[in-house]
Structure 1
């Protein structure tokens, strides 16, 4: 019998985390996607700290209307703008076991448009 959906996602997540490790020079941009919301964090794994976090539930983004993909692009732009203010230019992208498609892709493209380098 094959893997369940959650087991498959967990296996992919572990494989990604082996490669993308966040450091002070190049922190990790981690994406979590639920059915209705999307969250992005910039993490320094060496110190075990979250440097920045943005989600679609934030006050300024929660009132935005549009599709889930459009809101995800706004979250990507917001995290990139916060990262620029904090002096972070380059990040390692961690899609969190999700396929690089749909909302995850929109978030990544929004962050790239705002100047964040992967």
Structure 2
């Protein structure tokens, strides 16, 4: 039996969680993807298969602000931006999908910043 890589283990955890979490038009899913260098967040309506709002640490708006910041501080800005964009589209309530990652560090910073900016989950 071969050992699972970290990314395969995360993918398996994510699939397990996704069996129970789904974004609806009333409560879309706030999905987080974290790479070594960047972090991305999307608000997704799974019924229609549409991304309603997204933000990333590679967005042009944020690029200049993020120079010299720690990754968790960058995640806070991404969380605020995705919340502002979702609220602009009329989305107030979401279901949080941590993407198989532990709820610590950058994932937690993004979630708390999105809550402070007005998203409810």
| Superposition TM-score, scaled by structure 1 size | 0.95
Shift in Å, 1:76: 0.2
Are residues 1:101 and 2:117 paired? no
For residue 41 of structure 2, give the secondary structure of its aligned residue in structure 1: strand
Q: Within 2, Cα distance between the matches of 1:6 and 1:79?
A: 25
Which residue pairs with 1:32 in the alignment?
A: 33
CA deviation map 1:37-68 (0-9, x unaligned) = 10000001011111111101111111113111
**TM-score if structure 2 supplies the norm length?**
0.92
Q: Quick one: which of 81, 84, 94 aligns to 1:81?
A: 84
Q: CA offset at residue 20 of structure 1? A: 1.2
Describe the superposition over 1:10-47 as per-residue Cα deviations: whole angstroms up to 9, x where unpaired: 11101111111000000000000011110000001011
Q: Does 1:115 align with 2:118?
A: yes
Structure 1, unmatched stretches of 5+, are: none
Report how far residue 6 of structure 1 moved: 2.1
Any gaps of 5 or more consecutive residues in structure 2?
none
Q: How many residues align?
A: 118
CA distance in 2, matches of 1:40, 1:67: 18
